[in-house]
Structure 1
Amino acid sequence: MIKIGTIELDGRAVLAPMAGVTDRAYREICAGFGASYVVSEMVSSKALQFNDKKTGFLMDLGEAERPAGIQLFGDDPAVMAQAAKKAMAYRPDAIDINMGCPVPKVAGNGSGSALMKTPSLCGEIVAAVKEAVPVPVTVKIRKGWDKTSVNAVEIAKICEAAGADAIAVHGRTRDQMYEPPADWEIIRQVKEAVTIPVMGNGDVYTVQDAVRLLNETGCDLVMIGRGALGNPWIFQQINAYLTDSCRILPSPGLYERMSVMVKHIQRLCAYKDERHGMREARKHVGWYLKGMRGAAEFRRRAGTLETMDDLALLVRDIVAANSVAEEAGR
């Protein structure tokens, strides 16, 4: 059992926060398949000061996804502390501080991964937020800003000293974005440098990847992002391997995959209304279709989805096409 402050996690695989992806519907689906901890999409601390309706929607947490954290980004300790206090109205189990986002609209304004260029400021933000809220405070960082400033270990130690209850490390610098292979060695170094739980993040797409990351770095938790897209079963598979004598659960069959996909999109539409939900659904459907026969054409159709009826027709055709293929292969 891994503890983050007062939170006890029943499993070692957690869902990484991803802007535009890890909304309530997706977090609930992943939690249902064994993600032991989930985090909201990142929320602007400045926007939260103005009671922005969209910002409030991002922080809406359901009981089916707990334990769940709310992730905040910003570069002003006082503003971050005030935002954390406001976020408590949504009853998060933890507050997560984003010090890893590489996108220009965040890092370009001094937040996200840009904070790693000023280590002392990282500590000030953690200390301010920690003092402001009664729940655990976690931090997500990268390897560093660029290859000339790889300082994840330094930042992790500063954050721990300032009161952070856990730290997640993505094994790439800001300049590397998401492309080159993640450096798991930096995760190992951070784990050896601090006493708080460390979540390793980067290039985990299979159970075998998760096991290697745990063994090679000694990290406490595996944080999965892109590897869970259209694949919430990965959490269940990792949990089974780690707790049930290295048992390998098979990948889901066509009917289970389609059933979970439909359930996911139904929740998406219930929380966001059908018009907005179906627009969000298009990318998720594309991810669920990965590796399927005829996936390219079905993904093209997924890009035009407008209603749940459209989705039902698409699923009907996917099942029919794959059933014919299975018959032909016998």
Structure 2
Amino acid sequence: MVKIGNLELGDFPLLLAPMEDVSDPPFRAVCKENGADLMYTEFISSEGLIRDAAKSVQKLDIFEYERPIGIQIFGNEIESMREAAAIAEAAGPDILDINYGCPVNKVACKGAGAGILLDIDKMVSMTAEIVKSVKIPVTVKTRLGWDENTIRIVEVAERLQDVGIQAISIHARTRKQMYKGTADWSYLNQVKANPRLHIPVFGNGDIDSPEKAAEYRQKYDVDGMMIGRASIGYPWIFDEIKHYFKTGEHLPAPDLDERIAVTKKHLDFSVKWKGEKLGILEMRRHYTNYFRGMPNFKPFRTEMVTAESYDHVCSILDQVGEVYADYQF
């Protein structure tokens, strides 16, 4: 049984990665229904929380059916992160997660996210202060290092454990790699081989099929996996991986009716949570992914991403169901 604090997550939990502009409550809802064991909010700026910025505060929204749920924060100032941690804890999550992995310039080049991998001592000090400031379990998401010359992930995991974190998720790329190249999970073997390390280690990067999940589970000895990009438009991946672990067989791919039903459910929640205008706008990034691979789909996609009302989008989805009624995935 994998545990974070007193939180029991099963024998090999599958986590939904926190993804900016993706892993909001509507998306988390469909992932939870399809097998995600632990989910995190989008990362939230510590400075935004302290300033009470509307966008940052809205990201604190969590719902009972999502539990266990973690709120993830990022920043480069220790005192700001302490204050933000307290604000996040007050929102009632089960876990507080610290983002030490975001590679984008506007975050990393200001010393936050993956930028802190250039100052491990500060990373450890910041983590220690956050752990002391909250009562809920603190976890960390990070990368291997800034570049191939600064990979100290075995030391980082041990030092963060020693100041109180209760699990670590490692994206097996450097910041320099961004999302390119291949994730090198061999470093996770090294982390797990450290006899002093006893907290759960979750692997992240390139898990895009049940076969790869099974191969990496056996090969790299991690305690669970965090799935990000492969879940966008395909929340079924969590249940598919679990089924493959148990049986060695594939679940049937979701058919068109299921894809349309889940898209509508996602859209419905998005509109209820954000209002019709913003809810429709922020769903536009998902349509291509839900219907990936369907031939001659571009006209429908174009119409969906320009539709301005909930009813219009639903009518287009109904048309898709009629036109592609015989299509097999």
**Are residue 273 (structure 1) and residue 247 (structure 2) matched?**
no
> Structure 1, unaligned stretches of length 5 or more?
none
Of residues 178, 203, 206, the one that matches 1:200 is 203
Alignment length, in residue pairs? 325
Contact 2:256/2:327 (8 A) holds in 1: no
Contact 1:120/1:158 (8 A) holds in 2: no
Task: Report sequence identity in percent.
Answer: 38
Partner of 1:5: 5
Please give the alpha-carbon distance, in whole angstroms, between the structure 2 residues aligned to 1:264 and 1:270.
10
**Are residue 213 (structure 1) and residue 226 (structure 2) matched?**
no
Please give the alpha-carbon distance, in whole angstroms, between the structure 2 residues aligned to 1:44 and 1:183.
28
Contact 1:12/1:239 (8 A) holds in 2: no
Over the aligned positions, Cα root-mean-square deviation in angstroms equals 1.4
Contact 1:286/1:302 (8 A) holds in 2: no
Please give the alpha-carbon distance, in whole angstroms, between the structure 2 residues aligned to 1:65 and 1:84.
20
Please give the alpha-carbon distance, in whole angstroms, between the structure 2 residues aligned to 1:269 and 1:121.
41
Please give the alpha-carbon distance, in whole angstroms, between the structure 1 residues aligned to 2:219 and 2:307.
43
For residue 57 of structure 1, report the CA deviation from its aligned partner. 0.6
Q: Secondary structure at the match of 1:268?
A: helix
Residue type of the alignment partner of 1:320 = E
Please give the alpha-carbon distance, in whole angstroms, between the structure 1 residues aligned to 2:193 and 2:45.
32
> Structure 2, unaligned stretches of length 5 or more?
none
After the TM superposition, which of the residue ranges 290-299 and 110-119 deviates more from structure 2? 290-299
Matches within 5 A, 1:57-136: 57-136=58-137
Please give the alpha-carbon distance, in whole angstroms, between the structure 1 residues aligned to 2:139 and 2:297.
38
Residue type of the alignment partner of 1:226 = R
For residue 302 of structure 1, report the CA deviation from its aligned partner. 2.8
For residue 296 of structure 1, report the CA deviation from its aligned partner. 3.0
For residue 324 of structure 1, report the CA deviation from its aligned partner. 5.3
Please give the alpha-carbon distance, in whole angstroms, between the structure 2 residues aligned to 1:122 and 1:297.
48
Matches within 5 A, 1:107-186: 107-186=108-187
Please give the alpha-carbon distance, in whole angstroms, between the structure 2 residues aligned to 1:258 and 1:294.
17
Partner of 2:44: 43
For residue 293 of structure 1, report the CA deviation from its aligned partner. 2.8
The alpha-carbon distance between structure 1 residues 306 and 191, as it changes in their structure 2 partners (threshold 3 A), is farther
Q: Secondary structure at the match of 1:75?
A: coil
Partner of 1:313: 315
The alpha-carbon distance between structure 1 residues 319 and 138, as it changes in their structure 2 partners (threshold 3 A), is same
For residue 325 of structure 1, report the CA deviation from its aligned partner. 5.2
After the TM superposition, which of the residue ranges 188-197 and 42-51 deviates more from structure 2? 188-197
Please give the alpha-carbon distance, in whole angstroms, between the structure 1 residues aligned to 2:31 and 2:70.
14
Please give the alpha-carbon distance, in whole angstroms, between the structure 2 residues aligned to 1:208 and 1:159.
32
TM-score by length of 1: 0.95
> 1:289-315 CA deviation, whole Å, 9 max, x = no partner?
112232333332332132212211221
Please give the alpha-carbon distance, in whole angstroms, between the structure 1 residues aligned to 2:122 and 2:18.
22
Please give the alpha-carbon distance, in whole angstroms, between the structure 1 residues aligned to 2:271 and 2:46.
27
> 1:87-134 CA deviation, whole Å, 9 max, x = no partner?
112101000000000001100111000111111111111111111111
Return the structure number with greater helix share.
Answer: 1
> 1:50-109 CA deviation, whole Å, 9 max, x = no partner?
122221110110011110000000122222112111111210100000000000110011
Partner of 1:251: 253
Q: Secondary structure at the match of 1:172?
A: coil
For residue 285 of structure 1, report the CA deviation from its aligned partner. 1.4
